Chain A
Amino acid sequence: MITSSKRKKNIKNIFEKLEKSKTGIVGLDEVTLGGLPKGRPTLVCGGAGSGKTMLALEFLIRGATEFNEPGVFIAFEETIEDLTKNVASLGFDLKDLIAKKKLYIDYVRIERSEIEETGDYDLEGLFVRIEHAVNQVGAKRIALDTVESLFSGLSSIAILRAELRRLFGWLKEKGLTAIITGEKGDNTFTRQSLEEYVSDCVILLDHRINDQISTRRIRIVKYRGTVHGTNEYPFLIDEDGISVLPISSLQLDHTVSRKRVSSGLESLDEMLGGKGYYIGSTILVSGTAGTGKTSIAAHFALTACKRGERVLFFTFEESADQVMRNMKTIGIDFEPYVKKGLLHFKSSRPSVFGLEMHLVVMHKLINKFKPNIVILDPMSNLFSVGNPFEINSMLTRLIDFLKSNHITALFTDLRTNKESSEGVTSLADIWIIIRTKIENNEREKRVYVRKARGIAHSMQEKKLLISKKGVEILTPKAL
């Protein structure tokens, strides 16, 4: 007992010693469990266009605006004008930050054709510039982007290596939380093996294209003295800057609700023990084409809106307008709720980006809209952009996220084979199946509850009718 408590104390001490500096970048602080090592340099490496400059710049901007930590950006590749333009589209106003003395940018131009070398030299000029910049704004953060440009402008690699080692040491001495970017080499993290000098924290960015669909990914390769997420996490650069999705850090420890919510159909509620779905559960509605899956989802959404709850409706097949038009024909009018802002449609083609990027987008929108109910229609359309393993892991992450936020989710699932299990069914708490049956030369829709966790559900297969009044579920006389 004593030893174990001692050990715990030691571990605690280690974590306390390691101070971290929050980046303010969505998701990155979760993946790094608190941010970058405070007062120490972090190496951010990746190929061309992987988002290194963006990450470095957002780290400084967030520092200046959210944590009152002014920053210095030493640009070796882009001029101040270029940088300002590049991030203006992301809603960051660099000029304003510079005017307020919260940010200082120095563009270091290195032009080999202008420079002749003779004899011994050092990079004291760069040190002087950095120190001057740091003093101008009282900087706590700094980014060097990309310091490797020095190697293309100067020929003495020996001097450069020694000077960079001195530079990184000097940054540490100054207590600056630094991001140093480097271009990915063939077999090394950076072309000039900067990782040999910056060893506290190494972050790798990647921009991959699979089946013509691109995904950005981030991975913490190394973080000395602390635990961190080791997976590759997808990230997104959009009008709000960078968002990293810390998907697999979730555990199966969310609390669940005992409360129930109506499915929007009395007859369906009855099949589910008379009370409907559990709040925060995941419902899967499977069926072949044209069996009324979207209609069941629509009833659920409408009833929720009537209660004043918020609904986020993702459609991957139809435009929002088309869904609204079609639902109106069965007596479901979404328009007033869309106007009220209770219902929000998000339509996108599955192929616009990769699976994980869909997840990032959904994640972001859910965080922003804060819905009570999320509908994915049809979820199975996402299957066209990934392999079964990816789909399974993505849905697991999404469901975990929804559950931990107590959001009730309804997924529709278009199936071509009768019961082809995609591995998704095990994730669902309630599984409703609709099928068509041919009787007396007439197609009839039949619905039954295949499973319903924690609910004493009906085992009967019932008849499903769709009319002007909406969906009706009847007990067939013949049965």
Chain B
Amino acid sequence: MKTKDKMKKLPTGTQEYLELRLYVAGQTPKSLTAFSNLKKICEDNLKGQYSIEIIDLLENPQLAQGDQIFAIPTLVRKVPLPIRKIIGDLSDKEKVLVGLDIRTNQKKMKQKSKINEQKSKNQS
């Protein structure tokens, strides 16, 4: 029963639409890494359910104040509320998913990664 309820609440594909902002300061290696990591995570888990806006603070320094940015790169989830922030080059997928509060796909990811792990074990 319980599992069924959960499935009802969060069926796959009904993930809320995410509005993301990635703050960078010029095209530094860290920023580029962060962007490619983010793109991949979103494509794998949120296909069609997200938008990414990149804000370069070198061009628009006045925008840093509004979202209280001090570290670079910083990923901000503007929608849905509450606002969440992730600092760094987003190299830890799990942390990014937790940080963005993407629950449904997290399970899938875990299953996937388990399968992958088994596969790789079998291969070796």
Give residues in A with beta carbon < 8 Å to B: 106, 108-110, 114-129, 131-132, 150, 154
How many angstroms between the C-alpha atoms of A154 and B91 in the bound complex? 17
Determine which of B65, B85, B88 lies in contact with A129 in the assembled complex, contact meaning CB atoms within 8 Å.
Answer: B65
A110 engages B70 (CB within 8 Å): yes
Contact A131 B72, CB 8 Å, known A117-B88, A118-B86, A121-B88:
no
Q: Which residues of A contact B73 (CB under 8 A)?
A: 121
Determine which of A116, A125, A128 lies in contact with B86 in the assembled complex, contact meaning CB atoms within 8 Å.
Answer: A116
B92 engages A125 (CB within 8 Å): no
How many angstroms between the C-alpha atoms of A379 and B119 in the bound complex? 92
Contact A119 B25, CB 8 Å, known A124-B72, A125-B64, A131-B61:
no
B85 engages A116 (CB within 8 Å): yes
List the B residue with the shortest CB-CB distance to A114. B85
How many angstroms between the C-alpha atoms of A154 and B86 in the bound complex? 11
* Minimum CB–CB distance for A31 against chain B, Å: 34
B10 within 8 A of A: no
How many angstroms between the C-alpha atoms of A118 and B71 in the bound complex? 12
Stretch at the interface among B12-20, B93-101, B106-114: B93-101
List the A residue with the shortest CB-CB distance to B58. A128
How many angstroms between the C-alpha atoms of A126 and B64 in the bound complex? 8
Interface positions of B from 2 to 36, Cβ below 8 Å from A: 23, 25, 28, 30, 33-34
A116 engages B98 (CB within 8 Å): yes
* Minimum CB–CB distance for A137 against chain B, Å: 14
Q: Which residues of B contact A131 (CB under 8 A)?
A: 61
A128 engages B30 (CB within 8 Å): no
Determine which of A109, A116, A117, A132 lies in contact with B61 in the assembled complex, contact meaning CB atoms within 8 Å.
Answer: A132
List the A residue with the shortest CB-CB distance to B98. A116
Q: Which residues of A contact B65 (CB under 8 A)?
A: 106, 129
A116 engages B72 (CB within 8 Å): no
How many angstroms between the C-alpha atoms of A118 and B73 in the bound complex? 10
List the A residue with the shortest CB-CB distance to B88. A119
B84 engages A109 (CB within 8 Å): no
How many angstroms between the C-alpha atoms of A121 and B68 in the bound complex? 16
How many angstroms between the C-alpha atoms of A474 and B89 in the bound complex? 95
A126 engages B70 (CB within 8 Å): yes
* Minimum CB–CB distance for B91 against chain A, Å: 4
How many angstroms between the C-alpha atoms of A72 and B98 in the bound complex? 37
